[in-house]
Structure 1
Amino acid sequence: MKTSPFLNTIRQSMRARGYSLRTEKTYIYWIKQYIVFHKLKHPSSMAAQEVTAFLSHLANHNNVAVNTQKVALNALAFLYNKVLKTPFGELDFKHAKQYRRLPVVLSTLEIKAVLDQLEGKDKLLFSLLYGGGLRITECLRLRIQDIDFDRLSLTVRDGKGGKDRCTLLSSLIIPTLKEKIVEAKVIQAEDNKQGIGPSLPYQLGKKYPNAFRQSGWMYIFPSIGLCPHPLTGELCRHHLHDSAPRKSLKKAVKKANLDHKRISCHTFRHSFATHLLQSGRDIRTVQELLGHSDVKTTQIYTHVLGQHFAGTASPLDALF
């Protein structure tokens, strides 16, 4: 399929600056939407007025969430600031409505009920999500070298915002995790016979052409099939796609009779944070484990605790 030279220029600009593939796809999507909205006019012939009209349209007619509108704005800011070199300055657009939605949190018994309905790699994966407060993509991108059994810790590489962090590894899943690592090494060994290995960061693959043979770079949750590397086009084995665990979770939630709740992969991360605060861990520690830049982001979990704000209880409790 033929790709627009203009969009290719944007992609190359993002890759030169080290943007993630996920961010690249998202920005390209919103830039396309912007161009289509203005009837295929080239962005270089448009400016702040057109950007304002597009962002206001998202809020007024598409009813997008505030974060979605922010992502669209960031994509257009990158386009004009970094690619076209014509910053559009201050904008006066209608902001999307921002609602504060409390995260869905499961009790420890509910977490156990869901995990009991899972088997094999799915049970291990969701145990890691809950045990370490991981995002689903962070978990799927874990490589063998990111596990430290001695220190009971996991290292999340290039997490949200491009940050690395360490989080907790539960001792309960060590035997299962070691078995999964052995399985992953067997897959890697078979791939290596064909000159194939796990997908690597582009620049690292160029600098160390044989790194794909080192077991440390193997994904703990490798994909079933091979695929072309998104940047180099070379055949490799990527990590499992996030659609697979999502389907397994949906079935497990139904079997556990919890399908009346809005449970997603991220619910396990929310539950991790809330349960740590319930057990008396200080909020700064939880903030660091989650990788939040601002403690205000972590503070939302204080609102889903059984007792809010330093143990304050309902006045009704004092009547009986």
Structure 2
Amino acid sequence: MKEFLGTLGQTTARAYGEDLIDFSRWFEESDGIELVAGLVTTLDLRDYLSHMLTVRGLKPSTINRRLAAIRAWLQWAKRKGAINDLPVFPRHLSEPKRAPKSLDRVEEARFLRSVAREGNVRDNAAIGLMLYAGLRVSEAVSTKPSDIEIGERKGKVIVRNGKGMKRREVPINADGRGMIGPWLAKANSDYLFPGSVGGHLSPRTIQELIKKYAYQAQLDPNSVTPHVLRHTFATKILRSGVDIVTVAALLGHSRIDTTAIYTQPSWRDLERAVDGREGGNGE
């Protein structure tokens, strides 16, 4: 096993080593003999999976990773001629799907209050495009003033370089218009968010300003990202009753099953369901 780990990079060797040590300990406790590649059977792998899943309660991702480490070691052993055939590995465990992380109403309100207190009209506009039009951060930073139309009663943004070079138009509601309009009125560059040395702001710049506002709102800054704002947009309109085909068009998804992930319950949804069942309103 040490020889196998020596063929890997330092980071990979450390990760594989921890997983293989765990398997080695289990094997020796279960079979009473030292782990050798040629002794590992299909039954051992099934029993090890069952032990990790039912006795230790490990997550599917952890179990899959450990089995992948064992597979890599045994494949190496086969190439070296130490074993003739690989045992049959259990099927990859599927993980329960959860809706992407989004802000709930309280978190969104706290975040927006933090943005409003700062009073930076540029930041307002960038956040408005993601939170109220569902733009990806790459789409937001490359938006041009001519891509946005804002009036008293309606507005829209044209996304010309969406994922897969798809073009789409997204209506902007009153809240979004209120955040975007003041900065749009000042726009005098090729891009709505010009960079300091030409071109447009980098996605990294937007990510950092969002982290700043999340921190000021006493939210975890690492859990509030441009994509979380986009997820919040998608989650809100789906829960308001908008059909999934329309939501897919607004987000620029080419496949409905990509949008369908938003219909999955989040962990917070599951907690609320249990609280509601056990104690009415959970108070």
TM-score (norm: length of structure 2): 0.56
Q: Are the counterparts in 1 of residues 98 and 265 from structure 2 also a CA contact under 8 Å?
A: no
1:186-265 matches, within 5 Å, as: 188=189, 218-225=190-197, 237-259=198-220, 262-265=223-226
Other-structure match for 2:170 = 167
> What runs of 5+ residues in structure 2 fail to find an aligned partner?
1-67, 70-91
1:282 and 2:243 equivalent? yes
Superposition RMSD in Å: 3.0
Q: Which residue identity does 1:270 align to in structure 2?
A: H
Q: C-alpha displacement at 1:166, in angstroms?
A: 1.0
1:260 and 1:270 map into 2 onto residues whose CA distance is 16
In structure 2, do the counterparts of structure 1 residues 257 and 143 end up closer, same or farther at CA, with 3 Å as the change threshold?
A: same
SS of the residue corresponding to residue 293 of structure 1 reads coil
In structure 2, do the counterparts of structure 1 residues 108 and 97 end up closer, same or farther at CA, with 3 Å as the change threshold?
A: same
Greater share of residues in helix: 2
1:102 and 1:282 map into 2 onto residues whose CA distance is 16
Q: Are the counterparts in 1 of residues 139 and 162 from structure 2 also a CA contact under 8 Å?
A: yes
Q: Are the counterparts in 1 of residues 129 and 140 from structure 2 also a CA contact under 8 Å?
A: yes
Q: Are the counterparts in 2 of residues 274 and 304 from structure 1 also a CA contact under 8 Å?
A: no
1:110 and 2:103 equivalent? no
1:295 and 1:268 map into 2 onto residues whose CA distance is 20
Other-structure match for 1:184 = 187
Percent sequence identity is: 30
2:105 and 2:214 map into 1 onto residues whose CA distance is 14
Q: C-alpha displacement at 1:102, in angstroms?
A: 3.7
Q: Are the counterparts in 2 of residues 115 and 126 from structure 1 also a CA contact under 8 Å?
A: no
SS of the residue corresponding to residue 154 of structure 1 reads strand
Deviation larger for 174-183 or 142-151: 174-183
Q: C-alpha displacement at 1:136, in angstroms?
A: 0.5
Q: C-alpha displacement at 1:223, in angstroms?
A: 0.9
1:143 and 2:115 equivalent? no
Q: C-alpha displacement at 1:123, in angstroms?
A: 2.2
Q: Are the counterparts in 2 of residues 152 and 170 from structure 1 also a CA contact under 8 Å?
A: yes
TM-score (norm: length of structure 1): 0.50
1:245-285 CA distance string (max 9 Å, x none): 21111121112111176221100111111111111111111
Q: Are the counterparts in 2 of residues 115 and 127 from structure 1 also a CA contact under 8 Å?
A: no
> What runs of 5+ residues in structure 1 fail to find an aligned partner?
1-59, 62-95, 189-217, 226-236
1:141 and 1:294 map into 2 onto residues whose CA distance is 24
SS of the residue corresponding to residue 100 of structure 2 reads coil
2:187 and 2:93 map into 1 onto residues whose CA distance is 46
2:225 and 2:186 map into 1 onto residues whose CA distance is 27
In our comparison, the structure showing a higher alpha carbon Rg is 2
Q: Are the counterparts in 2 of residues 105 and 271 from structure 1 also a CA contact under 8 Å?
A: yes
SS of the residue corresponding to residue 116 of structure 1 reads helix
Q: C-alpha displacement at 1:177, in angstroms?
A: 3.1
1:143 and 1:174 map into 2 onto residues whose CA distance is 16
In structure 2, do the counterparts of structure 1 residues 269 and 173 end up closer, same or farther at CA, with 3 Å as the change threshold?
A: closer
1:156 and 1:269 map into 2 onto residues whose CA distance is 14
SS of the residue corresponding to residue 238 of structure 2 reads helix
